[in-house]
Amino acid sequence: MYLQDFYAEFFIIPFIVLVVVLHVWGSRKNKRKAKAWIGAMGPVLQKEFACVGFEGKKTDFKEMDFTAGASHVLPGEAIKERSSSEFIAYATGRANIAFVDIKLTMSKRFNPIQRFSETAMGFLFESMPAPKERMEATSFVFDGREGEIVPSLMRAAAEGKPQERFSSKYDGFVWAIVHKEAMKQLRDGRYDLSLTTTRDHAKLPDWATVMSESAEITETMLTPELCKAVESAGENLEALVVSDQPIDQPKT
């Protein structure tokens, strides 16, 4: 047994250590980012919704502290880790909205090889863009169907109690504010957006444009408050979409 016999191991062991360290560091960094996000948006959700997170309805509602624990430990009830690069959050319990689904997608910091190949594919094939870090929130509105979805209201309807509620119904349409760079991909990838025409609007910053089915709708939707919010969000905004049509072309 000579030291020379272990040359290979001298290379392999540091390599393994490197991979492990990279993985731990990368996934923790992603967790930290997710936590930062929920730390910033959690209070907003908490203000608007009765029930934030996955634990189910709490009878004694306490304010959740989204920043508790080490910086990479997630407030597990509010935001969950679906994979090291995907995080999901959920909120419900609000007038007009059945629930909100939120998904945070991050680059795979913990696996630089995969990250590199994903980016390379993005350059070569236009149809498979490199994954970007993004937050997707989908708000599922009641559209007048609370009676079918909310248990307490369903019971009230069954018992014949009067339902005084401002209707959450609204006329169906497709409307969006999108970042010009994302526009082509969104229009090609989504059936509902393919029904719209694209027009710039003076009230919006240069990088943004409006996809709408009718000018009247745009006039109603484009409130000064919205314009301000879009401006303050900046070019990080990829798209804000209101739609009553499915994303993929329906077959029937």
Partner 1 sequence: MTPLFTYFIRLADILSEKGHFRPDAMKRVKATREEEIKKIKKADETEKNEERRAEKEKEKRRERDEKVRGMSTEQQRKFLEKERASDMRKSQKGKTMRA
Separation CA 74–CA 28 (nearest Å): 10
Q: Interface with partner 1 by CB under 8 A: which range of 66-74, 107-115, 151-159, 170-178?
A: 170-178
Alpha helices for the chain (secondary structure H): 7-48, 112-124, 146-149, 151-159, 180-189, 215-221, 224-233
Question: Is residue 237 involved in binding partner 1 (CB under 8 A)?
Answer: yes
Among 169, 180, 184, 199, the residue binding partner 1 under the rule CB under 8 A is: 169
Question: Is residue 224 involved in binding partner 1 (CB under 8 A)?
Answer: no
Separation CA 225–CA 230 (nearest Å): 9
**Which residue, 9 or 235, is less far from partner 1 as judged by CB?**
235
Q: What 3-state DSSP class applies to 119?
A: helix
Question: Is residue 213 involved in binding partner 1 (CB under 8 A)?
Answer: yes
Among 228, 235, 247, 248, the residue binding partner 1 under the rule CB under 8 A is: 228
Separation CA 99–CA 93 (nearest Å): 7
Q: Are 38 and 48 in contact (CB under 8 A)?
A: no
**Interaction mask 68-107, partner 1, x per CB under 8 A:** --------------------------xxxx--x-------
Among 162, 171, 202, 224, the residue binding partner 1 under the rule CB under 8 A is: 171
Q: Interface with partner 1 by CB under 8 A: which range of 17-25, 54-62, 68-76, 217-225?
A: 217-225
Which residue is associated with the tokens 């209101």?
Answer: 242
Question: Is residue 199 involved in binding partner 1 (CB under 8 A)?
Answer: no
Separation CA 209–CA 235 (nearest Å): 12
Q: Which two tokens stand for residue 11?
A: 């290379």
**Which residue, 59 or 236, is less far from partner 1 as judged by CB?**
236
Q: Which two tokens stand for residue 117?
A: 């190949």
Separation CA 44–CA 37 (nearest Å): 11
CB of 102 to partner 1, least distance (A): 10
Q: What 3-state DSSP class applies to 195?
A: helix
Question: Is residue 50 involved in binding partner 1 (CB under 8 A)?
Answer: no
Among 137, 150, 182, 204, the residue binding partner 1 under the rule CB under 8 A is: 137
**Which residue, 48 or 86, is less far from partner 1 as judged by CB?**
48
Q: Are 38 and 44 in contact (CB under 8 A)?
A: no
Sites of contact with partner 1 (CB under 8 A): 40-41, 44-45, 48, 94-97, 100, 137, 139, 141-142, 166-173, 195, 213-214, 216-217, 220, 223, 225-226, 228-230, 232-233, 236-237, 240, 242, 249-252
